[in-house]
Chain A
């Protein structure tokens, strides 16, 4: 083995995230095709040919029917195809507030509130307000992976929804979730 083996850079398909050579076994080869043809023409030679012949047919048809010059008509087509598969894979980070009740000591528990910062709420202010409203301790705690959350002593999971929506109108009720038995349950 060499001194320091360089990491191999593997080409991953932007559509299905598999290495390009496995696209044919992926969930949807049809969607990957445009990307494959653009990025790895040598891996699937049949695909390119198939597309070329199809495109040629199309262009030919168009030429016959409308008489538009071929490069102008084929260019926007290709772009359209590219857009569709790309838009679907990337999920947007959802803005949501997650409320979880953690039982600490048989009948004592802590309610943690995650994700308030996504709505532009200052966490330190929020924890102060929560503590005041419920007359308990509330603190901003750093989660294990750099994420901040608010811990409130006591079980306030039922009143907290109303409180959040009242105090910060930016937070819609539909964006609030409970975690019950490890499952996410919408608050409404």
Chain B
């Protein structure tokens, strides 16, 4: 999704109303309970929250010009990888085997076999259509953020086709955009 992404795709960025800001905070807090203690540091109540609208109904949540979260249409907010690296335990994790890393890092969606093979691992509780962190065999940090297409159980049972949509991965356009002016 962010394979080709640059500041030019940002069509408008606005400082949002306090009420919208509260709503965003609330939905992030609901989505990632683990983030709650540090949410005040991440999204300080005082400092302005800026929402950048981009093409394809994509929104970026910026604080001090740093992109922290993104969402599509009215979908769930997902952290950027830089943020996830700092707080790795906020999301459910799925792990892919070593062979898949190369493809994931060039933007491929995550196929079921990569998750079910010996190198991969699944969190049984993951349902369909939830944001997840994609980890990799033998690596410490997440390499992508995905959006599950089917539940973990289905992934195991069907074991074919796309299991997780790749939303944001290392070295894609959003990763390279450390700051947005």
A residues adjacent to B (C-beta < 8 A): 1, 3-5, 7-10, 16-19, 21-22, 25-27, 144-145, 147, 182-184
Contacts and interface: CB of A to CB of B under 8 A. Distances in A.
Decide if the interface of chain B is mainly helix, strand, loop or mixed. Answer: mixed
B34 A22 contact: no
A10 B8 contact: no
A184 B6 CA distance: 12
Contacts of A182: 8-9, 11
Contacts of B180: 145
Contacts of B175: 17
B171 A16 contact: yes
Interface of B: 8-9, 11-15, 34, 37-38, 50, 62, 65, 85-89, 101-102, 105, 139-141, 143, 170-171, 175-176, 180-181
A8 B171 contact: no
Nearest to A22: B170
A5 B13 contact: no
A10 B171 contact: no
Contact of B87 (A3, A8, A19): A8
The 10 nearest A-B residue pairs measured at CB: A7-B86, A10-B85, A144-B13, A4-B37, A19-B141, A25-B105, A21-B139, A18-B170, A25-B101, A8-B86
A19 B12 CA distance: 31
Contacts of B13: 144-145
A16 B13 CA distance: 28
A10 B37 contact: no
B140 A21 contact: yes
A5 B37 CA distance: 7
Contact of B143 (A1, A8, A22, A184): A22
23 contacts: A1-B34, A5-B34, A5-B89, A7-B38, A7-B86, A8-B86, A10-B85, A10-B86, A19-B85, A19-B141, A22-B139, A22-B143, A25-B105, A26-B171, A144-B12, A144-B13, A144-B15, A145-B13, A145-B62, A145-B180, A145-B181, A147-B181, A182-B8
B64 to A, nearest CB: 9
Given A3-B37, A25-B105, A17 B86 contact: no
